[in-house]
Structure 1
Amino acid sequence: MLFDSHLHIVDREKLGYPWLEGAGALNRDSLYEDYAREAQRLGITDTLHMEVDVAEGDIERETDYVKGLSRQPGSLIRGAIAACRPEDAGFPTYLERVLADHFVKGFRRVLHVVPDDLSEGSLFRENLKRLAGTRLTFDFCVLPHQIAKAIALADLNPNVQFILDHCGVPAVKDGLSEVWTSGITEIAKRPNVVVKISGIVAYADPDSWTVDTLRPFVEHSITSFGWDRVIWGSDWPVCTLGGGLSTWVAATHALTQGASADERAHLYQLNAKRLWSL
């Protein structure tokens, strides 16, 4: 059974998504009901909603919207990873509100869509330190050449739990690169970082990838971090760019066929449940 740590829901009637206009095939509604129907057939029993870079004024409305979905009978949603703006002076007040709401399990600030120096700003770093000692995690979504930026933040905040999304966003269709390989090896040395095995089908050639195309990226990530520091995510609906949810779940099972039952259980659900005390 699978714990999905990375579900995106897009409902354009309820929230604003400025980035969607240039998102091609993703510029559409991707509703919870569509995800849940397929997920339940695949053995996905739990999921966390991952923020979808909504319009800044909709950040807290997004959390409320997802919370409403979680209250539906039989809902798979167990919590949310909320958007945040650590670069803003209002972050401490926002953090106080979030800490009072146990539905929110962590934060993400997508860093590959902003200037590289954003995460180097003093206010950003000061605010990130406020997560130390809280129950909140922080997701990194960075490109391979930005992994060094993530490493710097992890080193500055040894008491904050970080999660590296999508195996560090490798350009799968271009093959292994030294920048990605060495970056994964280095960031994995930080005990306060785990890696999310997710998203990579969207970075492969949609017409030609196979399990063997993905294998080097998954195996290097797991070997570097170890089975106790890996979690699984669907990255739905982005995974539809590379075949869809069922295809990604099938590929996951094929990629982990040689692992022990205990190792698979840690990747599939146990590590996530421990990470967020679920």
Structure 2
Amino acid sequence: MRQILDAHLHVWERARHPQPWIDPRTMAAIDRDFPPASAAAELSRNDVGGSVVVQAVNDLTETVDLLSGTRDLDAVAGVVGWIDLTGDVDAQVTMLRSGPGGEKLVGVRHVTFAEEDERWLSRADVGHGLDALARLGLTFDVLVGHHQLAQVADVVGDHPRTAFVLDHLGKVPLRGTELVDWAADLALVARRPNVVAKVSGLVTEDEAGRWSTERLRPVVRHALRTFGPGRLLYGSDWPLAELEGGYGAWLRAYLELTGHLPAADQAAVDGRNAARIYGISRRPGRRPR
């Protein structure tokens, strides 16, 4: 039996937290609200026992709302929120932890694509914030483009006490001709012992309607070869997965792509690694059909 803890999904209600990146023409499938209850329902439909909700906008009020909005949802085991890493990190985290649902704060992420400076992650003031996260027992989810992976390797190496989580395997360039560069740079990141990676967000990196399990097989094989099953986390990247077949389509592909692994390794990627990295005590529940 494979018990799944989804390490990466999103919720949003746009009246309070707009999502201007959603193109209503090309992203019609997600051009609507996805409140926390809808995530819980989607997990239930796919027999997934728990999840980690990840921030979508660089705004502290969104994190406050994510924590309070999911505090009574058993389907949400943790929240990766946002804080200003260049500000008073201790004060912000204290405020979040003392508020409704604050016990579910497990990590921090910053949407780096919102920054004009592609070297934002390497700034000294950001680095001070990353070091503070280690002291506070929080992880940092890294969201970058594949061309920034070499930079990520340097940043992770510069902050050895901070636990990093690389989102979406570094945004695999399935549409382009840079897979060789991506593979080499992902290997650089994997050499750092204080970073793990999410097997997530892959189906939306290919051309629309083109992805398949077989096209993703060498990508997942390389991730397993470089990071090993002890440092990979399954994530759905829902609701973005709705753009390419929905939650179930990617989950079935993931199960097939990892089906050759020994049971202990499957369990690690399925959820045990996420529970360990994010400090989630309860184990995921049901078996996917």
TM-score (structure 2 length as normaliser):
0.87
Instruction: Kindly state the Cα deviation for residue 82 of structure 1 after the two structures are TM-superposed.
Output: 0.6
Partner letter of residue 16 of structure 1?
P
Contact 1:8 1:50 in 2 (8 A): yes
Pick closer, same or farther for the CA change 1:121–1:23 going to 2, 3 Å: farther
Matched residue, 2:186: 184
Aligned CA distance change for structure 1 residues 70 and 92 (closer, same or farther; 3 Å): closer
Q: How does 1:201-240 map to 2 (within 5 A)?
A: 201-240=203-242
Larger relative contact order (Cα-Cα within 8 Å, sequence gap ≥ 6):
2
Matching residue of 2:95: 97
Match of 1:261 among 260, 263, 266: 263
Query: Which range is displaced more, 109-118 or 134-143?
Result: 109-118
C-alpha distance in 2 between matches for 1:16 and 1:35: 18
Find the counterpart in structure 2 of residue 65 from structure 1: 65
Alpha-carbon separation, structure 1, partners of 2:259 and 2:81: 33
Alignment of 1:108-123 (within 5 A): 108-114=109-115, 115-123=117-125
Q: Is the 8 A contact 2:106 2:279 kept in 1?
A: no
Q: Does 1:41 align with 2:45?
A: yes
3-state secondary structure, aligned to 1:130: helix
Deviation at 1:46, TM superposition (A): 0.8
| Matches of 2:151 and 2:94, distance apart in 1 | 26
* TM-superposed deviation, 1:176: 5.9
1:274 deviates by: 1.3
Cα 1:23–1:77, aligned 2, differ >3 Å: closer, same or farther?
farther
Whether contact under 8 Å (1:206, 1:243) holds in the other structure is no
1:11-30 to structure 2, matched below 5 A, reads 11-20=13-22, 24-25=26-27, 26-30=30-34
What are the ranges of 5 or more consecutive residues in structure 1 without an aligned counterpart? none
The 3 A distance-change label for structure 1 pair 23 and 222 is farther
Structure 1 counterpart of 2:283: none
- Structure 1 runs of 4+ aligned residues shifted over 6 Å read none
Corresponding residue of 1:79:
78
Percent identity among equivalent residues? Answer: 27
- CA distance in 2 between counterparts of 1:241 and 1:11 reads 18
Residue 68 of structure 2 aligns to which amino acid in structure 1? G
Structure 2 CA distance for aligned equivalents of residues 46 and 134 of structure 1: 24
Kindly state the Cα deviation for residue 276 of structure 1 after the two structures are TM-superposed: 2.0
1:50-70 C-alpha deviation (Å, 9 max, x unpaired): 00115x3xx2x3233223333
Three-state SS of the structure 1 residue aligned to 2:140 is: strand
Aligned residues: 272
CA drift of 1:24 comes to: 4.2
Cα distance between partner residues in 2 of 1:104 and 1:129: 17
> Once the 2 structures are TM-superposed, how far is the Cα of residue 121 of structure 1 from its aligned partner?
1.9
> How far is the alpha carbon of 1:214 from its aligned partner?
0.8
Amino acid at match of 1:102: E
CA distances 1:122-160 after superposition (whole Å, capped 9, x unpaired): 211122111223310001111111012211211111010
